[in-house]
Amino acid sequence: MKESLALVDQFLQTDLDEWTRQVVRRHFDPETGSPYWLERAAELDFDPREITRYDELSALGPFPLSVLRKLDPADLIPRSVPRPIAGRVFDSGGTTGDPKRILYTPAMLEHRQAWRHWSFHTEGFRPDGNWIQGTPTGPHVIGLGVQELSAYGGRMYIVDIDPRWVKRLIRAGKLAEADEYTDHVTDQITNILHTQPIDYLNTTSALLNALVRRAPELAAKLKGVRVSGTHCTPAMFRSFKETLNGGSGGIVGRSYGNTFGTSAGIPDEKDGEILPYLPNYPNVTAVVVDKEDWTRTVGFGEQGQVMLNVLHPDLLLPNFLERDQAIRYDTGDTYPCDGVANVMPLQVTRKAPEGIY
């Protein structure tokens, strides 16, 4: 864990303009750049290697998300990464169409884990705690929590979830069957809580809500939870705090993100009315933009659409418009980048259900 905390400290000292130059030049290098970006470079009316500042990334335009549904994920990775590329391909939840896919290189996994360990540590989770991981695994990046928590020091009990099946049931109007699947998952979690010495639960806010409704006495035994996936509202956050640790309050850690980029929860404000998140800087930064004009950043305290910039030496996804909205959050002098707060889906319809993920 010490190595992870040192790495995050190093990240937080990074000059974002210099980082942007390094990452862009790596991906657009004519000899060793990434195949996708070199092909895109031929279509641009300028040399992307002339980008010298973070705020110039807009020149590359919004990243076309549909590309990630068919592109070989290796084509996004610079040729300077030795071929053949070995690694794990993750994909999105597939809520609004076929899944989008990217490959995580070892460096990407290391950087993500460092930020996760920073989160566990700053939120107050003991390294020797016993955990239940009740989340999607398989192709879903949230499943990395199993190895990340194990590396932090915990002992893991795992309950798998298939969020696509739940969303399919909801889209088809089969709400009773969706509730039955939720019961199937919570049955497995309650069985472990009944029989094993569990300290913490890592799950989605929607599933934790279901657990609290079904077995509040078991949820009250937990010393802490980490919630991610579907958005956590202020009301949910306060409810979780009041339920944990015998009603005396416990740790409610939070993270926001998806396959492409993650943000760590930082302390809530106004009794949970403001729930802010810090992007995994400098590999991920977040901009809150006008919903009608992605080139205009909204003011602090204003709501808009979340736009990610994924700036990893092994993966460049600039101007990545999320299907989420949030408040632009001022981190002041504490952190070197903007945060986002009170994240929620940009639009929730029967065609794009959130389910238990």
Backbone angles phi, psi at 345, to 5 degrees: -60, 140
Q: How many CB atoms lie within 10 A of CB 123?
A: 18
pLDDT at 46 (0 to 100): 95
Average pLDDT value over all residues in the chain: 92
Residues 300-327, mean pLDDT to the nearest whole number? 96
Compute the distance between CA of residue 37 and CA of residue 199 in angstroms, rounded to an integer: 46
Contact 82, 111 (CB under 8 A): no
pLDDT at 273 over 90: yes
49: buried, middle or exposed (CB in 10 Å: 19+, 13-18, 0-12)? middle
- Of 39, 49, 121, 28, the closest CA to residue 316 belongs to 28
In order of 19, 141, 162, the CA distances from 352 in angstroms are: 35, 20, 16
Does residue 84 have a cis peptide bond before it, meaning omega lies within 30 degrees of 0?
yes
Residue-wise pLDDT tens digits, 234-251: 999 999 999 997 777 789
Residue-wise pLDDT tens digits, 180-239: 999 999 999 999 999 999 999 999 998 999 999 999 999 999 999 999 876 889 999 999
Residue-wise pLDDT tens digits, 247-265: 777 899 999 988 888 999 9
pLDDT at 357 (0 to 100): 46
Residue-wise pLDDT tens digits, 285-298: 999 999 999 999 99
pLDDT at 163 (0 to 100): 85
Residues 63-83, mean pLDDT to the nearest whole number? 94
Beta strand 339-345 pairing with 303-312? unpaired
pLDDT at 343 (0 to 100): 94
Where residue 350 falls among pLDDT bands split at 50, 70, 90?
Answer: very low
pLDDT at 348 (0 to 100): 46
pLDDT at 230 (0 to 100): 63
Contact 314, 79 (CB under 8 A): no
pLDDT at 327 over 90: yes
pLDDT at 246 (0 to 100): 73
Compute the distance between CA of residue 191 and CA of residue 91 in angstroms, rounded to an integer: 30
Token couple for 264: 């760590």
pLDDT at 54 over 90: yes
Report which residue type is found at 236.
M
pLDDT at 95 (0 to 100): 58
Q: Which segments within the chain are labelled E, that is strand?
A: 88-91, 101-104, 130-136, 155-161, 200-204, 224-228, 251-257, 262-265, 276-279, 284-290, 293-297, 303-312, 315-329, 339-345
Of the ranges 150-154, 290-294, 338-342, which one carries the lowest mean pLDDT score? 150-154
pLDDT at 356 (0 to 100): 55
Residue-wise pLDDT tens digits, 87-136: 899 998 655 578 899 999 999 999 999 999 999 999 999 999 999 999 98
Compute the distance between CA of residue 28 and CA of residue 59 in angstroms, rounded to an integer: 14
Query: In sequence order, what DSSP letters do the residues of 89-133 get, joined into one string?
Result: EEE---TTSSPPEEEE-HHHHHHHHHHHHHHHHHHT--TT-EEEE
- Of 86, 109, 184, 94, the closest CA to residue 140 belongs to 94
pLDDT at 312 over 80: yes
pLDDT at 342 over 70: yes
Where residue 331 falls among pLDDT bands split at 50, 70, 90?
Answer: very high
pLDDT at 153 over 60: yes
Token couple for 118: 């920073």
Residues 269-280, mean pLDDT to the nearest whole number? 95
Share of the chain above pLDDT 70, in %: 95
Where residue 349 falls among pLDDT bands split at 50, 70, 90?
Answer: very low
Element (H, E) at 209: helix 205-214
Token couple for 20: 């942007």
